Structure 1
Amino acid sequence: MTRTVRMAEMTLRELLRRRGVMGLLLVVPLVFYLGRHDQSGQAIRFASLGVGFAVSTAALFSAAGGREVESRLALSGFRPVHLFLGRSLALGSAGLVISALYTVVILLDQNVPNPSAVAVEMALTTLVAVPLGLLLGLAVPRDLEGALLLISVIGAQMVIDPVKDSAKLLPFWSTREIITYAVDGSASASLSTGVLHAVIVGGLLALASGAVMSVRLRRRPHMQFI
């Protein structure tokens, strides 16, 4: 636990030093939100996707930039689980702060029949975005390719009809389902279905990104873990 917390502290300090990343976390969701401000449901959905994109991008660059540091930490006794959980904890905490901020902005600016559903969706979007960004940052050799893949995922999320079954394969499908419930009620969408989708996708992404980190570190012959 101590090593996990230390890894989280190091990740948070790294984020705070990178002011551009923090600016991205704050500004990108606002741009998405204002782009559809005249349509309540669409504005909230785009704000949520903006939070997902910003948090995923921060996680991607954090994972890509921390490869050398993680190798040195592994030599000093940190296990892959400490590194993964610590980085996830830091990124998740930062993302939840941003999602809470935008939840307040939305609820003050929009008349939403089910405001608690908006808060749930913003939090779930963050919890999906962190492992998604980490997976891309760990699995793709260079961060530029990872960023292009992430842009493709977000772009597909915006243009594919969410009613199609194929749309459910995208990581942020729950955004539309829960926001529709928040704005239009249970007759138009299911809160439990959206929450279940986000939990399953977030869990699968977390398992995949954790496995990639573990395999990548264990492949080095001078690093053996129990």
Structure 2
Amino acid sequence: MNRLMTVAEMTLRELIRRRGVLLLLLLMPLAFYLIRRGSYIGQSVRALLLGISWAVSTAALFATGAARELEPRLRLAGYRPHHLYLGRMLGLWALGVAIAVPFFALVAVDGSDLRYGGVAAAMLCAVAVAAPFGMLIGAVLPRELEGTLLLLTVVAVQMLIDPAGSGARLTPFWSSREIATWAVDHTDDGYLARGLLHAVAVTAVLVLAVAGVSTARLRRRRHVRHLPVT
């Protein structure tokens, strides 16, 4: 547990040190919210959730890329693969919650006639899914430009796809949109149940995928060089 907390703290320190990045992480959800603010409140809340998902996924993508050079040293120091990816994920979840809190306060002040517990649940689901999703992209696509373009594509599809369609459930952030519908439109509790179940299932799948990819990559031990036998 101490090693997990150490890696989580290292991840947060690396991200906090980049103040410009943190500012952009806060500006993206705010821009998403304000663009839709002049219309129906439900649209602004849904756009805000996508902005939070984008911000946390982007942070996870860059944190994964930045850790590539440090991971071999930590492995030599005795850290196991699960210490590295789980510790980083914990740090990103903490960062995501820190990003979501001021925006929840914004919705609470600016909105009305909302199920605020549902808004909070939707934000937590967005954070829960976004962290391993960004980490998985960062692990599979080592080049940050390619990863950023893939994230942009996913968010664009999420915004344009019909949430009632069967294909929408295959998108990673469908859960937050479903819960937001329950919170904003006061629909039946089935929306809440489906959203929570989807978030748990997608998060579990993404965490397992990150574990598999990260463990396979870290066990290659590229930092070890065998000298030829003479």
TM norm. shorter chain > 0.5: yes
Distance (Å, rounded) in 1 between the aligned partners of 2:142 and 2:19: 24
Structure 2: which 5+ runs fail to align?
Answer: 225-230
**Contact residue 100 and residue 123 of structure 1 kept, 8 A:** no
**Contact residue 177 and residue 189 of structure 1 kept, 8 A:** no
Cα deviation, 1:65-85, whole Å, max 9, x if unaligned, reads 110101110111100110111
Structure 1: which 5+ runs fail to align?
Answer: none
- Match for 2:6: what amino acid? R
Distance (Å, rounded) in 2 between the aligned partners of 1:113 and 1:146: 35
User: Aligned residue for 1:67?
Assistant: 68
**Contact residue 177 and residue 190 of structure 1 kept, 8 A:** yes
User: Aligned residue for 2:138?
Assistant: 137
* TM superposition shift of 1:187: 3.8
Q: How does 1:88-103 map to 2 (within 5 A)?
A: 88-103=89-104
User: Aligned residue for 1:214?
Assistant: 215
Cα deviation, 1:161-181, whole Å, max 9, x if unaligned, reads 111101100000112211110
User: Aligned residue for 1:53?
Assistant: 54
* TM superposition shift of 1:188: 8.7
Tell me the SS of whatever aligns to 1:99. helix
**Contact residue 136 and residue 209 of structure 2 kept, 8 A:** yes
Tell me the SS of whatever aligns to 1:67. coil
Distance (Å, rounded) in 2 between the aligned partners of 1:73 and 1:101: 34
- Size of the alignment, in residue pairs? 223
Cα deviation, 1:74-120, whole Å, max 9, x if unaligned, reads 11110011011111111110110111211110111011331110001
Distance (Å, rounded) in 1 between the aligned partners of 2:115 and 2:222: 54
**Contact residue 171 and residue 201 of structure 1 kept, 8 A:** yes
Between 213-222 and 199-208, report the one with greater CA deviation: 213-222
Cα deviation, 1:103-156, whole Å, max 9, x if unaligned, reads 110111011331110001001100100000000011112111011101000000
Between 111-120 and 128-137, report the one with greater CA deviation: 111-120
When residues 140 and 221 of structure 1 are mapped into structure 2, their CA distance, relative to the original with a 3 A threshold, is closer
Q: Does 1:128 align with 2:126?
A: no
**Contact residue 72 and residue 223 of structure 2 kept, 8 A:** no
Distance (Å, rounded) in 1 between the aligned partners of 2:124 and 2:202: 14
User: Aligned residue for 1:195?
Assistant: 196
Distance (Å, rounded) in 2 between the aligned partners of 1:126 and 1:134: 12
**Contact residue 112 and residue 182 of structure 1 kept, 8 A:** no
User: Aligned residue for 2:106?
Assistant: 105
Q: How does 1:15-30 map to 2 (within 5 A)?
A: 15-30=15-30
Distance (Å, rounded) in 1 between the aligned partners of 2:126 and 2:223: 38
Distance (Å, rounded) in 2 between the aligned partners of 1:217 and 1:182: 42
Distance (Å, rounded) in 1 between the aligned partners of 2:189 and 2:203: 24
**Runs of 4+ with deviation above 2 angstroms:** 186-189, 220-223
Identity of aligned residues (%): 49
**Contact residue 72 and residue 221 of structure 2 kept, 8 A:** no
* TM superposition shift of 1:12: 1.0
Q: Which structure is larger by alpha-carbon Rg, 1 or 2?
A: 2
Distance (Å, rounded) in 2 between the aligned partners of 1:167 and 1:78: 39
Distance (Å, rounded) in 2 between the aligned partners of 1:24 and 1:196: 31
Distance (Å, rounded) in 2 between the aligned partners of 1:198 and 1:221: 35
